[in-house]
Amino acid sequence: MSYAFVFPGQGSQSIGMLADLAETTPVVAQTFEEASQVLGYDLWSLVQNGPDTKLNQTEVTQPAMLAAGIAVHRALAEKTPLNPAYMAGHSLGEYNALVAAGALTLAQGVALVEARGRLMQEAVPAGSGAMAAVLGLDDDQVRALCDQAEGVVEAVNFNAPGQVVIAGDKNAVDQALPVFEAAGAKRVVPLPVSVPSHCVLMKPAADALAEKLADMTLTAPAIPVVHNASVRTYDSAEQIKSALVEQLYRPVQWVETVEYLKAHDVTQLYELGPGKVLMGLNRRIDRKMGMQAVFDSATLSKALETL
């Protein structure tokens, strides 16, 4: 069996996540302690106790989700040898994949994603950007309607057939929503986010992130990581840095990522980290591909049976 690990992004976080796994697996708390040392505050306590308004701040969510995904990966690695053919992550999850593949240390990853979250929020002040999920239109229809919108509205997450996320200026997105409905969308769902990710409004954040990455030493990943924007794998540190910068203001090609994995003989995906968001998307992309989410003691045990 050829398998891949995939990591969810922002939106899968919740107060109390990984509490069950932490009770039986000390490496979970240890991973969060490593992240806390970088951040200068107790990340595990915040994740377990809230408040959720704090956890949902972008510069907090991103380190929390990174630590969560790596904690699950380490929990598996303690129990069995791991030999995935590929790794990938949705948006922020790309950083999890790079840490798990050894291209970045956890400390580097935590520092980077905290800065990434902060830079994203600074690029577009809270309340001035928006995102929404458009359900039931094909990709080309969504792109065409975005092109017709007044102001910045872009298709930014190609999550599954008939599920595309748009992002841009709040006023422009708000005005575009009824246009998508009139064009036949089954539903248009505004998303509760403070930053319009993966659109051109993130270019200033991407430029600032490039400066932070310039001084950082990355290593070639031990496992190939499929990057969101290009749907390619890279060995060189400079190419990986460019991919991370590009990812901030270009779309997440998740459908193409899963199709890439399938074309390279991957038959099973394991989603590592809280929730089952990617499992839900992947069922719509390719029902025949095996999928398991790993986020608590029961799902860890189940994964160990097949790994």
Q: Decide: helix, strand or coil at residue 284.
A: helix
| Alpha-carbon dihedral 271, 273, 277, 280, rounded to 10 degrees | 30
pTM for the full predicted model? 0.96
| Alpha-carbon dihedral 157, 18, 65, 101, rounded to 10 degrees | -90
- pLDDT by residue for the chain (307 residues), tens digit each? 899 999 999 989 999 999 999 999 999 999 999 999 999 999 999 999 999 999 988 899 999 999 999 999 999 999 999 999 999 999 999 999 999 999 999 999 999 999 999 999 999 988 899 999 999 999 999 999 999 999 999 999 999 999 999 999 999 999 999 999 999 999 999 998 879 999 999 999 999 999 999 999 999 999 999 999 999 999 999 999 999 999 999 999 999 999 999 999 999 999 999 999 999 999 999 999 999 999 999 999 999 999 9
Active site residue 198: yes
Question: Which residue among 91, 194, 197, 227 is the active-site one?
Answer: 91
- The 8-class DSSP code of residue 201 comes to G
How many Cβ atoms are within 10 Å of 274's Cβ, its own excluded?
24
Active site residue 264: no
User: Which H helix or E strand runs over 89?
Assistant: strand 86-89
- The 8-class DSSP code of residue 252 comes to B
Question: Which residue among 36, 90, 194, 198 is the active-site one?
Answer: 198
Q: Which two tokens stand for residue 49?
A: 């106790």
What lies within 8 Å, CB to CB, of 165 at 6+ separation is 131, 132, 133, 134, 155, 156, 157, 159, 191
